A and B are shown apart, each in its own frame.
Chain A
């Protein structure tokens, strides 16, 4: 690992000020540290935001669940309040990586990184989340821009993610057998007026599958999507799964999600 300057800002303002094109925020370090160790990323400044109290914590209101950016996956997975409001969100958090990853990795880090196979982005999309940063609020649908790309600007810090509580929801994932990231992850949320089927792992970035969402909006049953064939031309293809396999898995897991609702 190359040497860097390590900063521990006391508040968000200070953190944002320290940021530059060659800096990174350090939350759980579950993505940034390994990539630095492997020499895939080098930074001049590492800005540790774990000690900014304001960024961590869970708030549940009647309509929303708000999770602070540096809240760890394990905290979400074990939160009774979240489980009551959106049980699928605790399930998602509890299924990320392994115990070590869940005890360090954070919501903010996960969505800022926008790994195409990360789980949280699908929850954001399906649950119409609003991403609160230090200077604005961004709708999930406008936040995830592409592979490892988000709407965040230089120095912009995620403070919290506000999820809309759905009527019903479920998250299903086909884990990468090695890393346990999602080969395909399907987050299904039935809201009062609409059904969202958000898919991660399958394409270069998380997306709402319009066909599945539409079919389930008109009839919320697995038979409504049974046998549906998705276009696999834009699906990811790698050593673990071809595009065709992924396309099939999306439908399979969407069905499982409906059945589990």
Chain B
């Protein structure tokens, strides 16, 4: 039987999703449901003096209105930060309370203050308009770089500082710097991005007054985790009385990890008003209140020798958390960022120092890549600049500092099990015709255009993550994953996973894995996820963990099935277990070639008895009936995908427009389960990264209004912004899991921003420019370039 793992199987879920038959949260309606509309703060920072609902309560169709007072009175907990980070001085991080409905103060535009439930959406909206909130408007703290100088926005949090964190050794770094020939310096802004999942957030809550169970349908990347948080921290209901279902979810990118205000409020309220509740975000609400990504201000330095060896690295970053610390908010700019900032290089001395600050802006949390794009941008800008200043070819300087032996103990934290960075970059050079660039540049110049080339070599730590490690770093939970594999008596297989698919294609790839392990057809296997009532507990999907952690739990559960199958087959075939070989779905007696298929064995497992007195049970002594196994997999290490991307851009100096002419990506994701799905993941990631580099322009004005809160102003990249992506793979298998796989979901978004920006800056002859490199910024840089060129001439 040909192996399914490794083949380009078309996505099973696409038939449903592409024909409009997906079932998203907003598609769910429950008889007698009410509609929720939230009253939100129009101010970035204000004291809430009074919330007057009297007039709104009398408006047509209103069923109820709830405010921060009521939720506080019912002792419903707030939103949480999932990781505890310590400052360099050993002190605990400072986290403000984040109530689901703000009671005393509002800290960003869009923060929910009250909620209206009505018989229709229109009535709810009309009533929400007349809820009167008396605010005392205060001057907000908006800007990342200046946040520590602003007035404290949360009581008791001096300088708006959550923590001042250090990873690495300052002394060793100073020493390395003192011996360097040259210090390369960059000042960078990693621009804030709005994740913009295609499906806005939504929730539908159904409270069963008889069983007292709450069912929450929601747009979540991790329904089990959501239930745990809502139960343990929110106190909404005990876990056994709370069912969380995340049906089809239209993209998350990190923005659907958090349990949000609306889910907590509607779940709590459904019990209170004893009616089902439906809430669907409008696009503006998504812009204002989905967790955003990135938003770093970084000063970084690389100490080098004249022959291009890297000696030391320092990274001083201010990371904006927004108004509150959320689930991955505090770890994203620390452990997901700091260790990766030394990149794919041997750098003997390094440190990352991060100050995380609160501002009156939407909370910032994990966004595709979470910390690793920021890390890669930092080191890859430095490396490119070092090559330029030292006059060494940009690929040569990288090769010079790549480790060639694995496991590679990276300076900060990680031990990378496997990889071949040289092979990746060589392949990228060849695929992109790196050596032909000079000729292409000449041609562009003849047309009055500027052409640049940019390289980005990256590695990342994903497949999060070993529980022992993450918990020692401050994570509130262990990040293992689980699976249960069930054979029906008639031979079909249900694979339950704690991971969640919202674009990743698990229905297909997970089925491929299970089908191969069990020797059954792809059609026989169904993947079930997204419902806390179905299957075992799981931690969800983010951090490119679904395959490298969740997939392995499936493999292990399947192997337990096969092990039991073997025992049963031995009994059925009247041989000893070690005389049996399992291959392609058949238990074969090696000597006699007698066999039982796994389907026959499954059937037998469910029929261990008979009215026939001569009947011999197929089950060995003490073996339980049934064929269901589960596994919890806790990985030994992160997985470390890596690769090199090379981009070429052309700039029109008169209009400032940047056109991405070529894009080559060579990635190492270990063993590839489905190339089609992986390519899709890489395409999406690159598109998002190019979006960040050239287009996406989250902008708050000085009063904290998000002025890019719609697609009329926020630039999403579109298909015509991209060239054809030229993809290649090197596949060094991971040594830390039985499949040899590494994560692939975030790589594109991690590698591409520096690949693009390095190319833009190359075209601009080394002139620094910040992301997004919009037309006007580039046009201005081109003017300066013209000036300095004419001076030089």
Contacts and interface: CB of A to CB of B under 8 A. Distances in A.
Nearest to A180: B718
Nearest to B653: A252
Interface size class of A (residues with CB under 8 A): 10 to 19
B775 A241 contact: yes
Nearest to B282: A37
A178 B779 contact: no
Contacts of A3: 122
Contacts of B657: 174
B124 interface: no
A177 B711 contact: no
Contacts of A239: 697, 699, 707-708, 713
A179 B779 contact: no
A220 interface: no
Given A177-B695, A239-B699, A239-B708, A245 B715 contact: no
A38 B284 contact: yes
B776 A178 contact: no
Contacts of A249: 655
Interface string A1-15: 111000000000000
B776 A179 contact: no
Interface in B776-793: 776, 779-780
A199 to B, nearest CB: 15
B284 A178 contact: no
B774 A248 contact: no
Interface centre among B126, B284, B711, B715 (most CB of A within 10 A): B715
Nearest to B711: A178
Interface string B752-778: 000000000000000000000011100
Contact of A248 (B695, B708, B779): B779
Contact of B655 (A1, A38, A174, A176): A174
Interface centre among B695, B712, B775, B780 (most CB of A within 10 A): B775
B716 interface: yes
Interface in A227-261: 239-242, 245, 248-249, 252-253
Contacts of B776: 240-242, 245
Nearest to B122: A3
Contact of B775 (A1, A38, A177): A177
B716 A178 contact: yes
B158 interface: no
Interface in A174-199: 174, 176-179, 183
Interface string A116-130: 000000000000000
Nearest to A39: B129
Contacts of A183: 775
B725 interface: no
A178 B714 contact: yes
B655 A178 contact: no
Interface string B499-513: 000000000000000
B718 to A, nearest CB: 8
Contacts of A178: 697, 708, 711-716
A17 B697 CA distance: 45
Contacts, number: 46
Nearest to A172: B655
Contacts of A177: 695, 715, 774-775
Contacts of B695: 177
Nearest to A174: B655
B654 interface: yes
Contacts of A176: 712
Contacts of A2: 126
A179 B718 CA distance: 11
Interface in B117-170: 122, 126
Nearest to A177: B715
A240 B712 contact: no
Contacts of A253: 655
A252 B654 contact: yes
B120 to A, nearest CB: 11
A177 B654 CA distance: 16
A177 B655 CA distance: 13
B126 to A, nearest CB: 8
B655 A179 contact: no
Contacts of B775: 174, 177, 183, 241, 245
Contacts of B774: 177, 240
A177 B721 CA distance: 10
B712 A179 contact: yes
B778 to A, nearest CB: 10
Nearest to A181: B712
Contacts of B126: 2
A176 B713 CA distance: 8
A252 B783 CA distance: 14
A241 B776 CA distance: 6
A120 to B, nearest CB: 18
Interface string B270-305: 000000000000001000000000000000000000
Interface string A130-152: 00000000000000000000000
B722 to A, nearest CB: 14
Nearest to A255: B654
20 contacts: A2-B126, A38-B284, A174-B655, A177-B715, A177-B774, A177-B775, A178-B708, A178-B712, A178-B713, A178-B714, A179-B712, A239-B707, A240-B774, A240-B776, A241-B776, A245-B775, A245-B779, A248-B654, A248-B779, A252-B654
Q: Which 8 A-B pairs have the closest CB atoms?
A: A178-B715, A177-B715, A252-B654, A179-B712, A245-B776, A178-B713, A241-B776, A239-B699
Given A38-B284, A248-B779, 4 more contacts: A178-B714, A178-B715, A179-B712, A240-B713
Interface of B: 122, 126, 284, 654-657, 695, 697, 699, 707-708, 711-716, 774-776, 779-780
